Amino acid sequence: MASIRFSNITKRWGSFVGVDNLSLDIADREFIVLLGPSGCGKTTSMRMVAGLDDPTLGDIFIGDRRVNDLEPKDRDIAMVFQSYGLYAHLSVYENIRFPLKVRGIPNAEHDAKVRAAAAMVELTEFLERKPKALSGGQRQRVALARAIVRQPNCFLMDEPLSNLDAKLRISMRAEIKHLHHRLNVTTIYVTHDQVEAMTLADRVAVMEKGRIRQLGTPTDIYNNPANLFVAGFIGSPPMNLIEGDIIDGQFRAEGVSVPLPFAGSRTDVVLGIRAEDLRLTDPMYGHFRQKVYSVELLGDATLVSQRIGARLITARADKGFRIEMGATSAFEAVPSAYYLFDRVSGDRIALPA
């Protein structure tokens, strides 16, 4: 078991900065997710923990030990990739066994360990098959079993579910959550999928352009996004974000006037409201009054959108809610559901209590 620490880690190639002065303390047994769009530095960060890339600056610790100069094989970590990385010519059994051989674990111990790891991911019946005779989900289970088999100090998982279809991804997500609950091994999990991050993580590090923009529990980053980037990245549909100005306690934008629960003026703000916090209300009174631009039935909810300026504003209504496209509609939210951001810096503006 081990904690992991990034201490002022920078990774540069020439003048390009892939990871920019990243510091992060991951507790022993914690499940941390690095979340962010493609190219933000997630894989590079993980590869530096594995020893597959060297940091340009800074130190990486596993437990109390600085590992910068330690070979990958001496770091006692196991990785799982999107591409599975299985050996096509080896059976499931031999694939799972492989790390035990490489690490010189006595042969007499192999069979029990392989069978225990396979059982944990329900592969017992498939041990004699070759990877090509398995589904994508089963292949990813083999990769998981191979990571589990030698009981490493930590798991590094890089988009392990990205190659699976939507349904399988959801069940494998639950498997990974269950495995972590059972094994309690420190895990760094990389994904661009915010739902995976929300469902799996103890804490999420939301990354953009090589930096952590916010670190917090899933509830934290959902309910208290620190900036526009995080607010817009987390949530489906994403948070409604409307650019405007505050004039005498009223938020004003093209076609919108929303009274705020405080006095004062400020230019260049962004008002944020989550779709589930917007209610459809009487068109005489709502703060957002426009014709319905689109209606989307999700099954468990109905999304109703208005178009304000160049933006869509979306309200999440009950599953039984019906309204015609083009009909007059009005949305409103309680003031406690408002978020305000500085349009220029992107930082959250605290609302007076």
Name which of 57 and 297 has its Cβ closer to ligand ADP: 57
Nearest-approach distance from CB 92 to ligand ADP, in angstroms: 28
Count interface residues toward ligand ADP (CB under 6 A): 11
Q: Nearest distance from residue 197's CB to ligand ADP, in Å?
A: 13
Angle separating helix axes 92-102 and 110-120, nearest 10 degrees: 130
Q: Does 43 bind Mg ion (CB under 5 A)?
A: yes
Which residues from 10-49 bind ligand ADP, rule CB under 6 A? Answer: 13, 16, 18, 36, 38-44
List the single partner that 41 binds among ligand ADP, Mg ion, none, CB under 5 to 8 Å by kind. ligand ADP
Residues 142-171 that bind ligand ADP (CB under 6 A): none
Question: At 34, which helix (H) or strand (E)?
Answer: strand 31-35
Residues 43-82, mask of contacts with ligand ADP (x by CB under 6 A)? xx--------------------------------------
Query: What's the min distance (Å) between Cβ of 44 and ligand ADP?
Result: 3
CB nearer to ligand ADP: pick between 17 and 303: 17
Q: What's the CA gap between 9 and 329, in Å, rounded?
A: 50
Coil vs helix vs strand at 31: strand
Sort 185 into a burial class: Cβ within 10 Å, 0-12 / 13-18 / 19+.
buried
87 touches, from ligand ADP, Mg ion, none (C-beta below 5 to 8 Å by class): none
Q: Give the CA distances from residue 133 to residues 81, 126, 137, 139, 166, in Å, rounded to whole numbers and listed in that order.
A: 19, 9, 12, 9, 21
Least distance between Mg ion and beta carbon 160 (Å): 12
If one counts every other C-beta atom within 10 angstroms of the C-beta of residue 234, the result is 23
Closest CA to 287 of 256, 327, 310, 263: 256
Q: Which is nearer to Mg ion, 43 or 138 (CB)?
A: 43
Residue nearest to Mg ion (CB): 43
Identify the burial level of 107 via C-beta atoms within 10 angstroms of its C-beta, where 0-12 means exposed, 13-18 middle and 19 or more buried: exposed
Alpha helices by DSSP H, the chain: 42-50, 92-102, 110-120, 136-148, 166-183, 194-200, 218-223, 228-233
Residues that bind Mg ion (CB under 5 A): 43
Residues that bind ligand ADP (CB under 6 A): 13, 16, 18, 36, 38-44
